[in-house]
C-alpha cells in the first residue's frame, strides 16, 4: 500500500527546514555584500520600488534569484534585485538596510514557506525591524488611488499560516504602535486601516468586498499578512504600509486590472518613495 507524502516537509529535515534554508540565504547575502548583518529590512511591493534610490548609498546589489530559496519576480512592478544600503539617520548614525525588491505570492503555488522565506532570511541576517509595503485595493471611497495608509491590523483570509506545529504567537500589537507613531511624525496626514489578505490571483467580487467591509477591512490585497505573522514569530518589529492603487470591485466604476495597479504606483511613486525613505531614516 502506498501513502501520499505530506504536503509540507518535516521541520527536522535539515535539507528542507525553513530556518536552515533561511540561514543559508543569509550567509549567501553576507558573502555577496561583504556585510555580516543588517539592522532593518524593507520588502518593496507594487509602487514602492523607487524608495530604494532614496534610502542612501548602495553597498551591494544581488540578483534576487541567486539567493538560496528566492525566485525571480513574476509580477510586473516588482524589482529583480536585493540591495544592501547604508541609511544615514538624522543624528549621523548609520543603519544597514536589506532592501528586497520583490516577494513570492501565495497564488504562485510555491507554498507558504516560500512566501515567508525573505522575512526569515532577514531575521537570520540580524534584522530587528521590518517594513512591509504593498499595493492594495481600497474599500473606502474617501481614500482614492495614490493614498498611502498605515496598517493598524490585518485579516488573514487565506486559510493559511506560516507557523507549523504547536507554535502559538500573540499578534495583538503585530503592527508596531511605536513605528506607526514614528511614521505619523514624518507625515501627520497618514491614516490607518485594516488590511485583508486574500489568496488571489483573481480579484474579489462585489459581494466579497461587501463582506470585507462588514468585517472591518479598509484595504485588500494578496500579500503581507502571512509575512507579518512570520516576522512576529521571528521577533521582528513590523511596520506595514499600503498604497491604495485602485478602488475595489463594486466601489470602482470601472473593471479592475493589473495595469491600473501599475499606473497608480507610477503616479504616486515619487511621493510614497520619499515618504518611505524618510520613515526608514528614522527607524
Q: Binding site annotation covers 135?
A: yes
Q: Binding site annotation covers 204?
A: yes
Strands 219-221 and 191-197: parallel
Q: Which candidate, 225, 245, 157, 148, places its Cα nearest to that of 192?
A: 148
3-state DSSP percent of the chain in helix, strand and coil, to 5: 35, 25, 40
Q: Binding site annotation covers 104?
A: yes
Q: Binding site annotation covers 252?
A: no
Q: Binding site annotation covers 27?
A: no
Signed CA dihedral, 21, 41, 239, 189: sign only: negative
Q: Binding site annotation covers 258?
A: no
Q: Binding site annotation covers 82?
A: no
Catalytic residue among 27, 66, 128, 204: 204
CA angle, residues 259, 117, 81, in degrees to nearest 5: 55
Q: Binding site annotation covers 2?
A: no
Signed CA dihedral, 98, 135, 237, 198: sign only: negative
Strands, E assignment, 7-80: 40-43, 57-63
User: Considering just the CA atoms, what is the radius of gyration of the chain in Å?
Assistant: 18
204 is catalytic: yes
Q: Binding site annotation covers 65?
A: no
Query: Cell numbers at residue 107, please?
Result: 497564488
Strands, E assignment, the chain: 40-43, 57-63, 81-88, 94-100, 129-138, 148-156, 191-197, 219-221, 237-247
Which parts are annotated binding residues for a purine D-ribonucleoside?
204, 246
Cite the active site residues. 204
Amino acid at each position: 500500500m502506498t501513502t501520499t507524502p505530506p504536503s509540507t516537509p518535516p521541520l527536522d529535515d535539515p535539507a528542507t527546514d525553513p530556518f536552515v534554508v533561511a540561514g543559508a540565504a543569509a550567509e549567501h547575502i553576507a558573502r555577496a555584500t561583504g556585510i555580516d548583518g543588517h539592522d532593518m529590512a524593507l520588502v518593496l511591493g507594487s509602487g514602492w520600488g523607487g524608495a530604494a534610490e532614496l534610502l542612501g548609498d548602495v553597498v551591494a546589489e544581488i540578483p534576487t534569484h541567486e539567493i538560496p530559496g528566492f525566485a525571480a519576480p513574476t509580477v510586473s512592478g516588482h524589482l529583480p534585485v536585493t540591495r544592501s544600503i547604508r541609511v544615514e539617520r538624522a543624528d549621523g548614525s548609520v543603519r544597514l538596510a536589506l532592501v528586497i525588491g520583490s516577494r513570492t505570492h501565495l497564488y504562485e503555488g510555491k507554498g507558504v514557506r516560500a512566501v515567508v522565506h525573505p522575512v526569515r532570511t532577514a531575521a537570520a541576517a540580524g534584522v530587528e525591524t521590518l517594513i512591509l509595503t504593498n499595493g492594495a485595493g481600497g474599500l473606502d471611497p474617501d481614500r482614492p488611488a495614490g493614498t498611502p495608509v498605515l496598517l493598524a491590523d490585518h485579516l488573514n483570509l487565506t486559510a493559511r499560516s506560516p507557523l507549523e506545529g504547536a507554535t502559538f504567537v500573540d499578534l495583538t500589537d503585530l503592527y508596531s504602535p511605536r513605528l506607526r507613531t514614528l511614521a505619523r511624525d514624518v507625515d501627520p496626514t497618514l491614516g490607518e486601516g485594516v488590511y485583508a489578505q486574500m489568496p488571489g490571483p483573481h480579484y474579489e467580487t462585489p459581494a466579497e468586498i461587501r463582506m470585507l467591509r462588514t468585517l472591518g477591512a479598509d484595504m485588500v490585497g494578496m500579500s503581507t499578512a502571512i509575512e507579518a505573522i512570520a516576522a512576529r514569530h521571528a521577533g521582528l518589529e513590523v511596520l506595514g504600509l499600503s498604497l491604495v492603487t485602485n478602488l475595489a470591485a463594486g466601489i470602482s466604476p470601472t473593471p479592475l486590472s493589473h495595469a491600473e495597479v501599475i499606473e497608480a504606483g507610477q503616479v504616486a511613486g515619487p511621493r510614497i518613495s520619499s515618504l518611505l525613505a524618510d520613515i526608514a531614516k528614522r527607524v
